[in-house]
Amino acid sequence: MSTPLADAPVLPTSTSDPFGLDVLADPLPFQEELREAGPVVYLETYGIYGMARYDEVHAALTDWQSFQSGAGVGLSNFRYEKPWRPPSLLLEADPPHHDAPRAVLSKVLSPRSIRRLRDGWMADAVELVDQVLANGTEFDAVPALAQAFPLRVFPDAVGLRQEGRENLLPYGNHTFNAFGPHNSLVAAGDARVGELSAWVAEQCERENLADTGFGADIWAAADRGDITHDQPPRIVRSLLTAGVDTTVNGLAAVLYAFATHPEQWQRVREDISLARTAFDEAVRWESPVQTFFRTATRDVEIGGVTIPDGEKIVMFLGAANRDPRRWDRPDEFDLSRDPSGHVGYGMGIHQCVGQHIARLESEALLTALATRVESIELTAPPRRHLNNTLRSWESLPVRMQLAAG
């Protein structure tokens, strides 16, 4: 008989820095190391815990009582540190405070409410794709499509004025960097953060939003008493923060997937209903949002180790989405699989409230491309844009061969 002490599981530790530029540039080897180390790993660089296996990440995301968001979903612990901006009423809040803003935004962005956008977005995608292809069939798909399409449809749908829209991507980029440590990526954004935050805050005011659109809908919810009148600006801010860079990188991911998997592109061209599966499979495969943190609200035991109350845990969504314990051939982008259940949109009460918008954007863009483009190929190695949270792209040089007719 061994003593209980000899049997007690030890907490595996890693000395790798998840936010090191080398890891951000190529996260897959690090993610495998973490998954194989154990269900919970101590990350010495930051004195925090991490989870990289699907089952544990999924379980933690659906247990908001034990793993709170209200102390921040980045490295910074709001119990001890002042947040760099007023906390999001959605992302960085727990029940009961979370519930009214969430209910309002869920309704504003529901499949039913956004049906009215569908025909216009389909036509916008056709117009953009025709414009781009008329200019030449070799181009950088990041600015030309992945950035251009969300920027064309989403700010209009919010009801944002034209002026200053070029601030949206830099503001999002900085916010997603700011969930990580204060490394060189955050330092590089510090110079503009005041100016960008001021512009965003101004756009969230009622008089600066169109009379119709998501912004107006959020303000109308305050008039109805569903939320208080001081809440709309910060809920609109969530749209402006989380609504652009995420979809840009999701679209870049699916375009990259097709450029590198020509046989999968043929399948979509033959059956356009696969466009929706394709986007979700790309979100699983690339996980545009790679990580989010939680904070333990009590001593939580997982796989025999205890995460003490108040400690930060980083959830490696991208690692969970490629966990071979959950997925067959996880590294393959394959439209035959059912990607549902991936944690690329999170899971549980905070699961991406804008996912129907993202899916509609991708469906519009892929549909326009599928009828016009026979094949997509890379003409040079794609380049990554490094961000502490996002799996992002600097450039995706492609050639598109036009379909006959």
Starting at the edge strand that comes first in sequence, how are the strands of the sheet with 13-14 ordered?
13-14, 41-43, 48-51, 312-316, 291-296, 67-68
- Per-position b or e across 10-46, b if 16+ CB within 10 A of its CB: ebbebebbbbeeebbeebeebbebbbebbbbbbbeeb
Residue 216 sits in the site that holds ligand OVM (CB under 6 A): no
Q: Which of 64, 223, 238, 254 minimizes the C-alpha distance to 146?
A: 254
Q: Residue 289 CB, nearest distance to ligand OVM (Å)? A: 6
Nearer Cβ to ligand OVM (64/265)? 64
- The string of DSSP codes covering 18-51 is TTSHHHHHS-HHHHHHHHHH-SSEEETTTTEEEE
Q: Residue 246 CB, nearest distance to ligand OVM (Å)? A: 6
Q: Contact at 8 Å (CB) between 41 and 47?
A: no
Count of other CB atoms within 10 angstroms of residue 226: 15
The residue from 40, 242, 268, 283 that contacts ligand OVM (CB under 6 A) is: 242
Q: Contact at 8 Å (CB) between 185 and 18?
A: no
Site stretch for ligand OVM (CB under 6 A), options 16-24, 118-126, 218-226, 237-245: 237-245
Q: Residue 179 CB, nearest distance to ligand OVM (Å)? A: 8
Nearer Cβ to ligand OVM (132/186)? 186
Site for ligand OVM in 84-103 (CB under 6 A): 88, 90-91
Whether omega before 101 lies within 30 degrees of 0, making that bond cis, reads no
The residue from 31, 76, 175, 388 that contacts ligand OVM (CB under 6 A) is: 175
Site stretch for ligand OVM (CB under 6 A), options 113-121, 238-246, 249-257, 316-324: 238-246
Alpha carbon distance 14, 362 (integer Å): 37
Nearer Cβ to ligand OVM (241/392)? 241
Q: Residue 352 CB, nearest distance to ligand OVM (Å)? A: 6
CA 70 to chain CA centroid, Å, is: 19
Residue 238 sits in the site that holds ligand OVM (CB under 6 A): yes
Q: Residue 248 CB, nearest distance to ligand OVM (Å)? A: 13
Tokens of 148: 């251009």
Q: Which of 102, 118, 35, 75 minimizes the C-alpha distance to 291?
A: 75
Nearer Cβ to ligand OVM (51/90)? 90
Nearer Cβ to ligand OVM (75/268)? 75
**Helix (DSSP H) and strand (DSSP E) numbers for the chain:** 18, 13
Alpha carbon distances (Å) from 272 to 104, 149, 172, 283, 334 = 32, 19, 31, 18, 15
Q: Residue 238 CB, nearest distance to ligand OVM (Å)? A: 3
Tokens of 390: 């996002």
Tokens of 371: 């009828």
Q: Residue 243 CB, nearest distance to ligand OVM (Å)? A: 9
> Going residue by residue from 36 to 75, which x/- string records binding to ligand OVM, judged by CB under 6 A?
----------------------------------------
Site for ligand OVM in 351-390 (CB under 6 A): none
Nearer Cβ to ligand OVM (60/242)? 242
The residue from 241, 247, 277, 287 that contacts ligand OVM (CB under 6 A) is: 241
Nearer Cβ to ligand OVM (241/362)? 241
Binding residues for ligand OVM, rule: CB under 6 A, are 88, 90-91, 175, 237-238, 241-242, 289
